[in-house]
Amino acid sequence: MRNRQRSWLFSAGIIILAVIASIIALSSSVTILGNKKDLSLKQGLDLQGGIQFILQAHCPAKTPNCDISSLIDPTINNLNNRINNGLGVSEAVVTYQKDATSNNYFISVELPGLKDDRQALALLGQTGNLEIINTGSTYIPAGTQVQEGQYPVEFTGADLDPNSISVAYDQANNPIIQFEMQGAAKQKFATYTQQNIGQYLTITLDGKVIESATIQSQITGAGQISGSMTLAQAQDISALLRYGALPLPLTTAGERQIDPTLGQAAIHQSILAAIIGLGLVVLFMLFYYRLPGLVATLALALYAALVITILKLIGAVLTLAGIAGLILSIGMAVDANVLIFERIKEELRGGRTLGAAIEIGWKRAWPSIRDSNMSTIITCLILSFFGNNFGATIIVGFATNLLIGVVTSLFTAVVVTRTLLSDLVSFFPWVVRYPALFGLPKDAITVPTYKRPAAVNRGARVAALAGAGDLALSSDDVDEE
């Protein structure tokens, strides 16, 4: 009885999950708590093109003779963080090259599908050097450029806690940036604001004033940056503050549009390949495994909806390599089902009841399912690591999409397929009378389904069956209700 209740709970959960996944997979946007989230699948540079910026790296004004070569990698890491989290662009390509003639370093930033190049330049080109300066009783309007050394610097962006920086709204529904200090700067900031009540707290970003506000009281916790900012500006500034100043100042040396190398024809061909592959897999499962194949097809439909849902929610960017990873994962999605069904057929041939064949078949197939999927997952993680750290970004999309597909297929095989097979026993016990429904000969199944009498306990049933000599059954052979 306990197993049946658990099966019903799993079935209800699967139905709810299928409904939610289907809605998200078929929707282009969703509104959550008043915020509209775009759910459209984005395309990579090879499919839709984008914008390329050429940025020249310079030494900071304070250290004009710096070693640029040692600071170029941290600069690229900072740019990647700004791109992925500030612009919300994935699959960007950031590389650098040293000009042999001038010994200047140039950084190439390729952004797929980006339309607002001004926002990108504002985010990538700014050094992001935040300073809180002491202007005393002098109010400085926002946008004013302050000369270096004109006012004492009390705090810098390095004093901010990156995890505390976020964009919120004030009572007038204007965007503000919330922040907190970290380490020793927290107490120092509290002491400074206590001693300067009535004075102006002026915040500059790359020397330009973004806020000059009167200190009303001591600030011991979170502070905020407000002013005449749009939401996009607030998000850009928060990204700059969260990831700190660029180790090297950058200036724009060039900009150009990148045409797609493949385009819509490749997308249509990939979709066609996916449909053909999915269709052939479904036909094979239905032809060879019959009723269990139908169960696998239902699980495969949920798998497809879940994969699309996950890709939309994480904002994944589809490249041709990523699409190839998804198509490959279709075969992986039914691999576990094949192992389970073959074991079930073997147990049915051996004379077990349908319930016992499903339970024991799954248990004996699980080690192979676990090991094969773990091997693929480890390979995907290795590919992703090398792609992110050694410039081979083309394989990152392939590895990521294949990883998502494998993990999702593991879930559908372990939870969905097993639950649907258990429901098959509970609601349609008569199906075992027709071996053809399982792709077996007529005489392959010799034991009908068995329902335990209410007055007979588990141990008595096993003893009675064994004593009667009908069939030597182990405790694993007994169906649980």
**DSSP codes joined into one string, 147-190:** PTTSS-EEEEGGGB-GGG-EEEE-TTS-EEEEE-B-THHHHHHH
Q: Contact at 8 Å (CB) between 401 and 316? A: yes
Supply the pLDDT for residue 453.
43
Pick the CATH number of 48-126+252-258 from 3.30.70, 1.10.3470, 1.20.140, 3.40.50: 3.30.70
| Strands 42-43, 29-32: pairing kind | unpaired
| Superfamily the domain 2-31+262-449 falls into | Multidrug efflux transporter AcrB transmembrane domain (1.20.1640.10)
| pLDDT average per 10 residues of sequence, the chain (481 residues) | 65 86 81 66 73 83 81 82 64 80 84 68 70 86 84 85 82 82 87 88 83 82 74 75 76 77 70 81 85 85 88 78 80 80 81 78 85 89 80 75 88 83 74 71 57 47 48 42 39
Which amino acid, one-letter code, is at 411?
F
Element spanning 334, H or E: helix 320-349
105 C-beta neighbours (distance < 10 Å), count:
20
Structural domain boundaries in the chain: 2-31+262-449, 48-126+252-258, 130-234+242-248
Cα–Cα nearest to 417, from 330, 321, 295: 295
> In angstroms, rounded to a whole number, what is the distance separating the alpha carbons of residues 158 and 51?
31
Q: Which residues contact 125 (CB under 8 A, 6 or more apart)?
A: 55, 250, 251, 252
Element spanning 289, H or E: helix 264-289
Look at the domain 130-234+242-248 and name its fold.
Gyrase A; domain 2 (3.30.1360)
